[in-house]
Structure 1
Amino acid sequence: MTREEKKVIAASSAGTIFEWYDFYLYGALAAIIGAQFFTAFPENTRNVFALLAFAAGFIVRPFGALVFGMLGDMIGRKYTFLMTIVIMGVSTFLVGVLPNYESWGVAAPIILILLRMAQGLALGGEYGGAAIYVAEHAPSNQRGYFTAFIQTTATLGLLLSLIVILSVQGYVNGNYPDVALMKDGVAVLMADGTPQMVKAFNAWGWRVPFIGSIFLLAISLYIRLQMNESPAFKKMKEEGRTSKAPLSEAFGNWKNGKIAVVALLGLVAGQAVVWYTGQFYALFFMQNVIKIDSFTANVMVAWSLILGTGGFLFFGALSDRIGRKPIILAGCVLAAVTFLPVFGFLTKTANPAIYAAHQTQVSVTVNKEDCSFQFNPTGTAKFTSSCDIAKAQLARTSVNYTTVEGAAPGTLAVVKVGETTIQSYDAGKLAGDELKKAKATFDSTLNAALKQAGYPLVPADNKTIAKAQNFVDIFTAQKLTIILILTYLVILVTMVYGPIAAMLVELFPTRIRYSGLSLPYHIGNGWFGGLMPATAFAISAQTGNIYSGLWYAIVVAVMTVVVGMLFVPGGTHKKDIFAGDSDR
């Protein structure tokens, strides 16, 4: 690389790392933030809402791609960079100072989601510009390698966010006392009458990484101001050949529009679900499904990112020699074949007690009409039937169970754990002391049966679960195996993501490249990928199998392989990306 090429990559990558850091802070802290802003909902619904608030930033990314893609094709890459980083940085800072549900009521989660959407709009304009800016500076035989540095920024941004979270979490919890959990202005009491306490980081310390991002905003702005415009775009602008209507030119005719459709379904959709499954859903799965504490889960993921990030550069460089398409589709195939056994192995390794307990057969016998899909976007539904109560309790304790339909109408759901049967209750037909007694009887009887089946209901009783005391406390067979499992998932991420930027750049002409590339990329990653954690969790909660949500990622990955094999052109790595431009 020449000195100027290194400067281009460094400037583009550094600013993009900080922007991804801002965006991923929420993802890494989704469970804690959910407890702060969605306390009005049941635990299962709260977890889904927390992930959907994270996904809200992804949902609006295609709209950001349209707005900033148009600006990038009309006024240039540099000034678009400056706008996106300011919007991202300010939105992240405001999340850090936003009062929670206890203070502001329903306004708090609404504002949180609006700020997440602002972040998504900014990110929708960020990625395409960074990838194009580097690709248009790169030698023709090294576009995959050069743009792979941009691909590392998403993972490095996540890694940076995890390191900051772990550092702040360790300091705050080590130096500040626990805080009483409050609801409606009153401390929540435990069974013995003492206040229920939460760690200081969970109560307020999580805000520090968000507030501190204002310093990263200042650094990012300085870096962006040092950048020069892309030579290819600058030449077109000087000659007056830039597109006057890039959106209609990119998507208003089938010649260009079909490229976007093929890129979305045959490349980006599969890349997106593999990416988010391998990093974000893996983190969420460990924290919320197999009950690894958040500090340990973050440590394990951080080490896997350190070990696996070099794969972006490796597969980016490899794609310069053998092509982008075979590497991306191979990553999708491997993911589709191995996700289920890998996540099963992760459970067995990280929490052997829960894995062993899953071998005990648990079933719920219900009347089908008595059961609801327990997702409540309006907060108005009441899940009071015996079926809903039984399933919710089993989901909270990460039980794998099967649903047996066919019970007579009007009969109560019955949970069977091994040879023990427990009758549920209908909260809609009971009240007062009668309801309290029914709930206490069901909960205590079910918990006793689950404990006998080996379910570790009390974290302190689970002596086999993985636990890291500090960032370097990883040198046991169990923890090293977890890191290797997660590193494998990261390698799959690098296979599908490392070559994707160069591939997308090569599919579109310079005049509409920013708009044409950004929309399919952000629809794929914003909708197919960003919704993956929430969708997978909801599917798992509904079916009673902690792994069933992975089928969403598997089906999308297989679809991408089929469409990619049939319709995505090969050999783009040999293409002159300026050939055919009107100014050439």
Structure 2
Amino acid sequence: MSASDVAATHREPTEKEIRLVIAASSAGTIFEWYDFFIYGTLAGLIGAAFFPSGNETLQILLVWAGFAVGFGFRPLGAILFGFLGDRLGRKYTFLVTVTLMGVATAGVGLIPDAATIGLAAPIIVIGFRILQGLALGGEYGGAAIYVAEHAPPEKRGFYTSFIQASVVGGFVLSIAVVLTCRALIPPEDFAAWGWRVPFLLSIILLAISLWMRLKLSESPVFQAMKAAGETASNPFVESFTFPGNKRRIFVALFGITGVLTTIWYTAFFSGLSFLRGPMRVDEGVVEWMLLVAGLIAMSFYIVVGRWSDRIGRKAPIILGGGLALILLFPVFWGMGQLANPGLAEAAERTPVVVTGQDCTPDPFAELFGREQSDCGKLLDTLTSSGVRYDLRDGERPGVTVGGEAVSLPGAWFDDGAALREGVRASLTQRGFDFSVQTPPMGNIIGIVALLLVMGMLSALTYGSVAALLSEMFPPRIRYSSMSIPYHIGAGYLGGFLPLIAGIIVARSGDIYAGLWYTWIVVAFGVVVAWFGLPGGPPRDFEER
């Protein structure tokens, strides 16, 4: 008897069972992404604890490098857990992944800082990030497929959209926990040790997730395949040898994941870094704005998922990607004007011009023992301060503000902190404001609205993806075939985005230049999706 014959005679899950499946899978996904995102939410304090440096730009780049390492191991986790999911089952595989994630996250909260154990601290952090990346590589595919294989075809986009919304939910939960801890713990104590509490809370979330997921039964599709003896012997190999699958993997990698992941991380993590960093907005205000925007945006994913059940999966992705190419730069320009209008006005009123030789910032010079040029140090200082500048050749490093020369004592270039404080003090005297910003309420509402625009673009390209990827691949190798391209795309194209964008900004001096990375990846992905995805109503793999 074939798997399709067994599936036909297998009892369909009841509405109550499906609701439990969605609730347990979504809750586990929220908790697991919370574990992964709490690192990025607390990036500033993570940097101070484990990657201390006198160079602000280098310190935050090292934090984002640690962030990227976790993403770099997601494809390996996808291969490992995809193999187990296609061989042993969906349920038990993502029980393993959520356990691994919870233990690794709690471990970060227990590591002594670099001041206590030196270089061992960042090395251990990187080790735990690797474990988190492996776990996350198996989580998404398992949860998405598990829900998709329980859902009736006409509601698959709607039901799986809760998994997509849960990814945002993990980010929102991380912010909510941080805000709660900030409210309960004095600022000095939170900076010293309180930031560890959100990591340690992962143990409680792990217990809740395991309790919920242990109530679930195996996917009916997997049960049918197992009963018919049609499970894959080597899902990884079959993913690349099954007829037409290489093309499907290519489309899934660039036309689906490349688009959704770069828009997602630009919307939330680039927005977070942009507002906290060069715009100098108060951390608590930034967290509240992202919390509100994230909570509202979660509903967008569900609306888009349900919409895709009627019009198909391709149209929302093409629409969201195309709009992102048009709106990406205007949205961030708008946030910059609203978040710190004085900085933008000062730059227009009194333009900054830098002169010198060898004027190429090298943010990793300190890390690799290289000597950065004086002009490079100066540009790095201006970039980390959110100041835009024009660059011209000159005999020696110099800065003019509105045509007036700024005094730059030679001793400043031997001390990064002295150079940073000295330059900022000089610019402050000429109308620049580097104080922590709390925008007026009208501006805050405007920023939240612009974040919601990015949230809508993300929802259009992400809301139907779990259903789409499940429908693209045959059941016997579905876990592996969808997890591999998804986590390569999300791991490298998306996970490295904060680091790559940060390097682009550091090397160019333009706080908006990092957006070009997102624009190029999305532009290529839209072309692939246009030609590679089927149009029309949703169709299961077997029906093609």
Q: TM-score, normalised by structure 2?
A: 0.93
Matched residue SS, 1:227: coil
Q: CA RMSD in A?
A: 2.1
The number of residues matched between the two structures is 530
Contact 1:329 1:560 in 2 (8 A): no
1:380-417 deviation line (CA, Å, top 9, x unaligned): 3244421122112212321111222x44xxx3222222
Contact 2:113 2:121 in 1 (8 A): yes
Aligned to 2:264: 275
Structure 1 residues 78, 445: CA separation in 2 closer, same or farther (over 3 Å shift)? closer
Tell me the amino acid that sits aligned with residue 574 of structure 1.
Answer: P
Q: Which of 329, 351, 360 is the equivalent residue of 1:340?
A: 329
Instruction: Give % identity.
Output: 42
Cα distance in 2, alignment partners of residues 153 and 315 from structure 1: 14
Q: Which of 197, 201, 216 is the equivalent residue of 2:205?
A: 216
Tell me the amino acid that sits aligned with residue 552 of structure 1.
Answer: Y
**Is 1:417 the equivalent of 2:411?**
no
Greater displacement, 271-280 / 252-261: 252-261
**Is 1:458 the equivalent of 2:435?**
yes
**Is 1:251 the equivalent of 2:240?**
yes
Tell me the amino acid that sits aligned with residue 529 of structure 1.
Answer: G
Residue 120 of structure 1 and its aligned partner are, at CA, apart by: 0.8
Greater displacement, 381-390 / 308-317: 381-390
Cα distance in 2, alignment partners of residues 32 and 447 from structure 1: 23
Matched residue SS, 1:309: helix
Structure 1 residues 216, 534: CA separation in 2 closer, same or farther (over 3 Å shift)? same
Contact 2:158 2:309 in 1 (8 A): yes
Aligned to 2:221: 232
Cα distance in 1, alignment partners of residues 444 and 60 from structure 2: 26
Aligned to 1:189: none
Matches within 5 A, 1:126-145: 126-145=139-158
Structure 1 residues 107, 47: CA separation in 2 closer, same or farther (over 3 Å shift)? same
Q: Which of 304, 311, 314 is the equivalent residue of 1:325?
A: 314
Contact 2:361 2:372 in 1 (8 A): no
Residue 41 of structure 1 and its aligned partner are, at CA, apart by: 5.4
Structure 1 residues 427, 74: CA separation in 2 closer, same or farther (over 3 Å shift)? farther
Residue 568 of structure 1 and its aligned partner are, at CA, apart by: 2.2
1:54-82 deviation line (CA, Å, top 9, x unaligned): 12111110110000001100000011011
Matched residue SS, 1:358: helix
Matched residue SS, 1:39: coil
Aligned to 2:6: none
Residue 358 of structure 1 and its aligned partner are, at CA, apart by: 2.7
Cα distance in 2, alignment partners of residues 553 and 354 from structure 1: 25
1:145-171 deviation line (CA, Å, top 9, x unaligned): 111011111111111111111001111
Residue 427 of structure 1 and its aligned partner are, at CA, apart by: 7.1
Contact 2:261 2:493 in 1 (8 A): yes
Residue 25 of structure 1 and its aligned partner are, at CA, apart by: 0.8
Cα distance in 1, alignment partners of residues 78 and 34 from structure 2: 19
Q: Which runs of 5+ in 1 are unaligned?
A: 179-198, 468-475
Aligned to 1:284: 273
Residue 578 of structure 1 and its aligned partner are, at CA, apart by: 4.5
Tell me the amino acid that sits aligned with residue 381 of structure 2.
Answer: Q
Aligned to 1:574: 538
Contact 1:98 1:112 in 2 (8 A): yes
Q: Which of 501, 525, 548 is the equivalent residue of 2:513?
A: 548
Tell me the amino acid that sits aligned with residue 434 of structure 2.
Answer: L
Tell me the amino acid that sits aligned with residue 528 of structure 1.
Answer: L
Aligned to 2:7: none
Contact 1:385 1:426 in 2 (8 A): no
Structure 1 residues 314, 493: CA separation in 2 closer, same or farther (over 3 Å shift)? same
Cα distance in 2, alignment partners of residues 443 and 19 from structure 1: 39
**Is 1:312 the equivalent of 2:325?**
no
Matched residue SS, 2:105: helix
1:466-517 deviation line (CA, Å, top 9, x unaligned): 27xxxxxxxx322222211111111111111101111111110001100000
Cα distance in 2, alignment partners of residues 163 and 273 from structure 1: 24
Q: Which of 284, 287, 292 is the equivalent residue of 1:303?
A: 292
Tell me the amino acid that sits aligned with residue 503 of structure 2.
Answer: A
Contact 1:301 1:483 in 2 (8 A): yes
Q: Which of 354, 357, 366 is the equivalent residue of 1:364?
A: 354
Cα distance in 1, alignment partners of residues 371 and 342 from structure 2: 30
Tell me the amino acid that sits aligned with residue 567 of structure 1.
Answer: G
Tell me the amino acid that sits aligned with residue 374 of structure 1.
Answer: P
Aligned to 1:183: none
Contact 1:262 1:564 in 2 (8 A): yes
Aligned to 2:342: 353
Residue 458 of structure 1 and its aligned partner are, at CA, apart by: 3.3
Contact 1:124 1:522 in 2 (8 A): yes
Aligned to 2:72: 59
Cα distance in 1, alignment partners of residues 116 and 409 from structure 2: 34
Structure 1 residues 445, 86: CA separation in 2 closer, same or farther (over 3 Å shift)? closer
Contact 1:20 1:157 in 2 (8 A): yes
Q: Which has the higher helix share?
A: 2
Q: Which of 388, 397, 420 is the equivalent residue of 2:385?
A: 397
Structure 1 residues 84, 448: CA separation in 2 closer, same or farther (over 3 Å shift)? closer
**Is 1:497 the equivalent of 2:462?**
yes
Residue 362 of structure 1 and its aligned partner are, at CA, apart by: 1.4
Structure 1 residues 334, 271: CA separation in 2 closer, same or farther (over 3 Å shift)? same
Tell me the amino acid that sits aligned with residue 81 of structure 1.
Answer: F
Q: TM-score, normalised by structure 1?
A: 0.87
1:121-154 deviation line (CA, Å, top 9, x unaligned): 0000000011111111111111111110111111
Tell me the amino acid that sits aligned with residue 24 of structure 2.
Answer: A
Aligned to 1:160: 173
**Is 1:523 the equivalent of 2:488?**
yes
Matched residue SS, 1:141: helix
Aligned to 1:26: 39
Contact 1:264 1:520 in 2 (8 A): yes
Matched residue SS, 2:406: strand
Tell me the amino acid that sits aligned with residue 382 of structure 2.
Answer: L
